[in-house]
Amino acid sequence: MIRSIFIWAALIAALLVPIIAAAASPLLAWRQPVYIAAGFAGVVGMCLLLMQPLLAGRWLPGLSPMASRLWHRWCGMALIGVVLVHVVGLWITSPPDVVDALLFMSPTPFSAWGVVAMWAVFAAAFLGLLRHRLALRFRVWRLGHVTLALVTILGSVVHAMLIEGTMEIMTKTALCMLVLLASAGTLAKLRVWDVRRRA
């Protein structure tokens, strides 16, 4: 019981502290509400990226395998939602910058990483929705889904670390490290690269 409480308390702190730190950022002064919403959608997206491998690897105590899968699916859909809010909000505030980013013509390196992560998360969600229609062996399907998820995670982490924006640097770095550690732990636990055995 104590271990479970500690794990959940640590997770809640890992999710809330970066959001609170971002809310106190002086860079938000005089910003349009749409821009602020777009920025916070990005922060929430990074938090959801921490949840996804923890749920996929069933690391969170008190959640059954069925509940973990269900929450993983819902967090995935929420991630798609905040990505759309992030991109649409930035497009409303500065359409040329978003168009340049989508066409990989932006002079800022973080834009390309963000766009790659965006398309990867869309593809991962699409693959998840079509799981039963693709007639793929489960392990092969999972390998494809996880590969796209890893592209999303790596692209998002580089994107976040290169930006000097809403997120505070120390909490941002800690959150990104936790996302990478959780992802590595889940990969090792599930052995997703082994597609030879039956599901």
What are the pLDDT digits (tens) for 95-123?
Answer: 999 999 999 999 998 999 999 999 999 99
Asked if residue 9 is part of any domain, the answer here is no
What total of structural domains would you count in the chain? 1
d(CA 175, CA 153): 12
Stretch 123-152: mean pLDDT: 87
Residue 195 pLDDT grade (very low, low, confident, very high; cuts 50, 70, 90): low
At residue 165, the pLDDT reads 80
d(CA 158, CA 33): 26
Asked if residue 21 is part of any domain, the answer here is no
Among 66, 65, 69, 71, CA closest to 11: 71
For residues 79 and 45, is the Cβ–Cβ distance under 8 A? yes
Asked if residue 46 is part of any domain, the answer here is yes
- Which residues, other chains included, contact 43 with Cβ-Cβ below 8 Å and sequence gap of 6+? 18, 19, 22, 166, 167
Asked if residue 24 is part of any domain, the answer here is no
Among 85, 86, 57, CA closest to 159: 86
Residues 44-54: tens digit of each pLDDT: 999 999 999 99
Structural domain of residue 129, as residue ranges?
30-190
Q: What CA–CA distances, in Å, run from 78 to 50, 72, 81, 159?
A: 13, 10, 5, 19
Residue 190 pLDDT grade (very low, low, confident, very high; cuts 50, 70, 90): confident
Tokens of 138: 């489960």
Q: What CA–CA distances, in Å, run from 159 to 27, 79, 109, 129?
A: 18, 16, 8, 26
